[in-house]
Structure 1
Amino acid sequence: MTLKKRIMILFSISSLIPFVFVFFISYHTIYSILTNKIQDSIRSNLRQAEFSMENAIGNLNSVSQQLAYSGTIGRELDTLFTSKDPYVRSQMNDEINSEMNLITFTNPNVGLTMYYFQQDRQIRFPNSGVKPNFDPTGLPLFAQYYGITYYGPHPSFDRFNNNLVMSAMKQVKLPGRNDVYVYLESSDKLTQAIFDKGKQVQNVQYLFLDNSHKITYSQIPDTFPAGSVFAGDIANVSHGLQRDYYWFNETSNQGWSIVSIISKAEYDKEMNKWFLQIIGSSLFFLAVSLLLAWLLWKMVYRPLSNFNKEIKLLTSNEAPSPLIKTNIPEFDQLLDKFRDMKGQIWDLFNEVQQKEKRRADLEVEKLLYQINPHFLMNTLDTVHWLSVMNGQQEIDRIVSSLNKLLHYNLGKLGQTSTIRDEVDALKQYLTLQKVRYDFEFQVNIEVDPSILDTPIPRFILQPLVENSLYHGFSDNGMIEVRIVAREMIEISIQDNGSGMSQAEIDKLLNSEQLDREKVGMGIGMNYVKRMLEVFYNGKARFRIESEPGKGTSIYLTLSILKKEDLQ
């Protein structure tokens, strides 16, 4: 039976165990699911509570506008207090009572409504009985805006109602009196509904905060007393943990907040239940998995031991081991392929040894080739001294220039040099060329002294000047070489020769064979292009401009690099 079939059978048996899928569910996944479930439920009720509070405040605001001086009743109230006619006053009194009843009837979410004269501590036009201890100064301040003061949940001042309500007071602008206020309470059913919903969801308690995050009402005053400032960072986060209580916040557009509070023990109750269940399931499936893993290990132990033996033989250069069968087709195939691979490695090893031997032979041959240039330069030194001793100054000058040029040019190609060395080698080359050619030409070289020691690739100026000499030069020829430094090194080589067509320029730049035919040193434009590509990685620019009969201009733009960049 193959290994694949054996594994399939073992894990098929394990999949039949009840709740086996629970084994693959991590604790963090369950934690996330339950947390989202609890938090979504709390937040849903919190948003409903905040929406209900906003509606209650909106109703109080709407009714207070009707009862203020700018409203209909407000104007009638002004007439009542300013008129001296008893009949008019009686009529206004009846109309105000009637309209107060109408407003109360059409706004079922508004409870106790009345006018309060602060200076006289007098109550007028209440729509219900008022408790004798009415004093708004002791109410918990909830919010203040648009000239209206809102008070947090507190016991109603309605004689027939002891439930918690929200209330609002707005000043009535009457001529000559600044102590008249409209006092309104929300329906007690609204506040009670908010608290009842909190008890249905994880026993949530509520805190009401004003604009400055001060607690105006608390259902758990022992831990979060009214009048204290809530320490949670509700301005930046929507939930947190404080004093072993999780809190969730909803802030209205007016700045006041409702905070749901739930104890950590209550919050984690369902979590702990699931945690105990998953712990028990995990322990059971762990035992089953350990048993299956042990069986699987026993199954593959012998093939792995054979592999280990083969690897040791490979690293110790020992002879191949006798063929051993594992009776598992997959492992037997792998062992056969491993032995084939080992044979190929030994073949490659022998091939590398042969290549190394050939390489050593080439190094010896290379050393032999290096003897001839040294012999040539030593011979030129001998000719130089003979010329000096015999007074042959012209021969001495030519031989000295040739010796210096050969010494520079026969150096290792690709090595770095400096602008100073390149210019010196160019001057030696021009000295030899003036002797060689039978026509006169002039070369002007201008170099910025500040960049003489700047490193550049070896042997890039001479091929460019050679190009000017080989393309239609005649008597009275002029070559100008300028090397300046701005943001980059700029090299220009201009001549007044016969020039070239664009086709000739393309052929010069792209034909390696052309260089070999026309340049005696065997190094031409393609060499310069390759050196720039190798050393400057695309940061150098190489351009040729020419027009038949008007000369040729070659421009190089090189980035300024350090010596280590060109090594």
Structure 2
Amino acid sequence: MIKINQVTFKNRIIFIFLCSSLIPFICLGFLSFYTIDSILRNKVESSLQSNLKQDLITLENTLNNLNHVSQQLAYGARVNDFFEELKNEREPYNRIQLRSEIKSEINLISFSNPNVGLIMYYYPEKQEYDFESFRLRGDFLPDELPIMAKYSEITYYGPHKSYNGLINQYVFSTMCKVNLPNQNVYLYIETGRNALETIFAPENKKEDSRRLLILDNDGKITFSENKTAFPENSMFVDYSKSEASSGYYKNYFWNKETSNQGWSIVSITPVEELNKERDKWLFQAALILTFFVVVALLFAMLMWKMVYNPLKKFNKEVKSLTQSTTEQTELTKIPEFDDLLYQVRSMKTKIWDLYAEIEQKEKRRADLEVEKLLYQINPHFLMNTLDTVHWLAVFSGHEKIDKVVLSLNKLLSYNLGKMGESTTVTKEIEAVKEYLQLQQIRYDFQFDVDIEVDETTMELSIPRFLLQPLVENALYHGVSDDGYIHVNVKLYDYLEITIQDNGSGMSREEINSLLLDESKNSQKVGMGIGLSYVKRILEANYGEKANLEIKSEIGKGTIVTLRIPVSGGERSL
């Protein structure tokens, strides 16, 4: 399976365009398909039903006309009188005259009814016929005719080849008994040449895919234009559903109309012909869909080109960030992308300006490194000189000078380390002791120093030069003869360092001045680092977790309390 993040931008654009173009069309297509399919089906089915009703009316009118003619001939007094006279007449001439009168009556009625064809009288006992209006083709076999409806007085026959020797068409026919006493005579009448031309004429079937079935009163097929799927003398499958007027069977759609006499006419149409209009619409829709796909692909490629060309220019600009400072003026002619190009080129100019600035700073840093080395030479030279003085004092027996030089050398060695870097409580206390020892030798008064350090704090890590500025401040502000400085280091949940003196004390203004400014007074002694350095180093290392507190009263001394958070990571191993 392809992951989404592996699909190229080009393919994503094509996919999005296809979806945005095709999904609405497909949804509309499905809706249109079902709508048009319903409309076409209703239209075609309604048309088929309407045509079938028209055929039924035509057939009923034709059969009613046959029935009317048969009533005229079978029950007409004039013709029947001629038949009675002919039966009793023995003279040949008179018989000829009577036969001529009967034929005249038949021709008159046939002429006045153009939809009537062959007319003749049939004698079933003799199986003979007489007074035929046209020459017959072959033998007359009424028992082989397809019965469409049969009643006591008249029988209707379904479509069959005409017995008229002058035409070769399908006709409907009727046979009824003639009202003659003591004679068994039947009247046979067929439809004429053009009576059913609109229904059964072969030339009308060339472009019409529907075919007709004629069912008798019991639903048996008496006539079929599709004898393969619906053979004659078989039962029509859906006849039992008397309420149904249409349906599907064997890939055919059928419509049925029932006459007043009880017989039915059924039209059958192949389903593929029924769906012909729908399939034509589907073909057109497929062509339109293909057109939409091609257009969507073209627009997707056009969009890809619109995005790809600016991306190439952006790529070129990005590569030129570190390769050259040549100013590019080529644009994409798309406002949004051109704006981004301007920003990239502006960023490129700033980057090269930063490069130049960094080069200058690097050059300056190299110069500072040389200066640093030069400055480092002097303190080391001083320490080496002090070490020489220390040994000279030892060899000469000047213990006091030896003590001063040794303390100064240790203090300078400690102070050469970087300010603010980590040290331990032990090393910081030792440096303070060396500093106090030098101050006791320097000043012309005596003061006591008391240092108490909790054993558990000895190896804790603290920043360098936290205690010396505090002790220096205690010495400077009021310690004289009989004075003392008390340093106390304890461990609670935090590390607490207290420096207390019994000097002259300070006012609140002086305390604020010491904390906020490196005043001139704070730089008169020692390293001149000042309490502001202690405050800054606490903020840099501990933020708001550390606390520096000064309490002082004029004439009673000063207490400086420093509280530092302690964690496992701050313990020196």
User: TM-score, normalised on structure 2?
Assistant: 0.47
Bigger Rg over Cα: 2
User: TM-score, normalised on structure 1?
Assistant: 0.47
